[in-house]
């Protein structure tokens, strides 16, 4: 039997498709939840291996989404207890309407991309998109209306976060990922200048941030000693050159004097010290030369 002639099955546009598209958008708005979509930009991308020196997240877009299987969105995730601690591997599939994603008007984007992040405010979790399924369900009346974003709990790996949205609570929660997880903190001694550096702001040397010869993210500022603590440093700061805060107006500007010190800050989830203490207490016999038996 032929398909219903009152519906345009093989055309990309049509009133029938508009009705379905609007129903999809409205249904997600009714039973879904608000999220923040963070597109990724990459610094110094290797043209051959397509590897970046650093991933940057400087913008976020609020948009409603829905779990593909809301009855067990996180229930099937498996958590692991290994030699190196407890690892949470929560994963889920987010559904976003194609129309709503297009309305975000993200520069250079035609669809969501792997490596981008989704912040879920009501669970205070960040998820990384691992795969974008754009053909499910397949061509209803000749068109697709949703993207399924197969995602996994984000694991921090030195990325730079400097998000500034209209929601200060969201800004603090997202940008804290970097300050809490970054392991290398460098202290800079500054000379003359003025202003107050804000925590989580970006500082740089050069004409602008886009053409900076060096940049970093502020973790602390001591106005008394003029010690500026930063992490996620890219490039090398040059003595005698201004360190400028990347803010819209009245930025802090001081002349860089010298590198004071670099320290390694332990990951708050790190368990290596506890494991070593227990091992030293006698659970592991480090004097054993043949753990497989005697000959």
Does residue 177 form part of some domain?
Answer: no
Structural domain includes residue 56: yes
- My answer on whether 151 and 238 are in the same domain is no
Number of domains in the chain: 2
Could you tell me if residue 194 is inside a domain? Answer: yes
pLDDT tens digits, one per residue of 103-160: 999 999 999 999 999 999 988 889 999 999 988 876 676 778 899 999 998 988 778 7
184, 233, 224, 178: which is closest to 205 by C-alpha? 233
In a shared domain, residues 111 and 232: no
pTM above 0.75, yes or no: no
The Cα–Cα gap between 178 and 160 comes to 7
Whether residue 289 is contained in a domain is answered as no
Q: CA–CA separation, 271 vs 120, rounded Å?
A: 27
Task: Give domain status of residue 64, yes or no.
Answer: yes
Question: Are 229 and 138 members of one domain?
Answer: no
Q: Output 249 or 62, whichever has higher pLDDT.
A: 62
Residues 143 and 58 grouped into a single domain? yes
Q: Are residue 157 and residue 25 in the same domain, yes or no?
A: yes
Residues 34 and 116 in one domain: yes
Q: Looking at per-residue confidence, does 263 or 194 come out higher?
A: 194
**Domain-embedded: residue 2:** no
In a domain, 69, yes or no: yes
Provide the b/e sequence for 106-139 (b: ≥16 CB within 10 Å).
Answer: beeeeebeeebbbbbbeeeebbbbeebeeeeeee
Both 213 and 92 in one domain: the answer is no
Tell me which residue range forms the domain holding 201.
183-264
Query: What's the rounded Cα separation, in Å, for the pair 118 and 67?
Result: 12
Same domain, 124 and 25: yes
Phi, psi of 44 (to 5 degrees): 50, 60
Helix residue spans in 67-110 (DSSP H): 98-103
More confident residue, 188 or 139: 188
Range among 116-130, 131-145, 232-246, 278-292 rated most confident: 116-130
Structure confidence at residue 254 (pLDDT): 94
How many residues can be counted in the chain?
295
**Shared domain check, 36 and 155:** yes
């Amino acid at each position: 039997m032929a398909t219903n002639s009152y519906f345009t099955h093989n055309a990309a546009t049509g009133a029938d498709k508009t009705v379905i598209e609007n129903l999809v958008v409205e249904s997600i708005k009714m039973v879904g939840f608000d999220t923040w979509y963070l597109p990724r930009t990459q610094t110094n991308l290797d043209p051959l291996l397509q590897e970046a020196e650093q991933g940057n997240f400087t913008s976020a877009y609020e948009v409603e989404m829905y779990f593909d299987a809301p009855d067990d969105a996180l229930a099937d995730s498996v958590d692991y207890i290994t030699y190196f601690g407890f690892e949470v591997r929560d994963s889920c599939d987010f559904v976003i309407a194609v129309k709503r994603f297009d309305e975000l008007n993200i520069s250079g984007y035609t669809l969501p991309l792997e490596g981008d992040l989704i912040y879920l405010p009501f669970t205070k979790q960040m998820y990384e998109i691992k795969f974008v399924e754009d053909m499910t369900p397949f061509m209803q009346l000749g068109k697709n209306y949703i993207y399924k974003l197969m995602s996994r709990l984000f694991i921090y790996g030195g990325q730079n976060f400097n998000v500034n949205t209209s929601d200060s609570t969201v800004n603090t929660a997202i940008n804290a990922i970097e300050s809490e997880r970054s392991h290398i903190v460098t202290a800079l001694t500054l000379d003359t200048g003025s202003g107050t550096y804000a925590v989580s702001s970006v500082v740089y040397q050069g004409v602008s941030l886009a053409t900076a010869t060096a940049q970093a993210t502020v973790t602390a500022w001591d106005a008394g000693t003029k010690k500026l603590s930063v992490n996620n440093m890219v490039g090398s700061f040059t003595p005698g050159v201004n360190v400028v805060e990347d803010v819209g107006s009245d930025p802090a500007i001081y002349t860089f004097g010298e590198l004071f010190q670099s320290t390694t800050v332990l990951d708050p989830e790190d368990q290596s010290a506890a494991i070593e203490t227990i091992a030293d207490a006698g659970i592991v016999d480090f004097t054993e030369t043949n753990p497989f038996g005697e000959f």
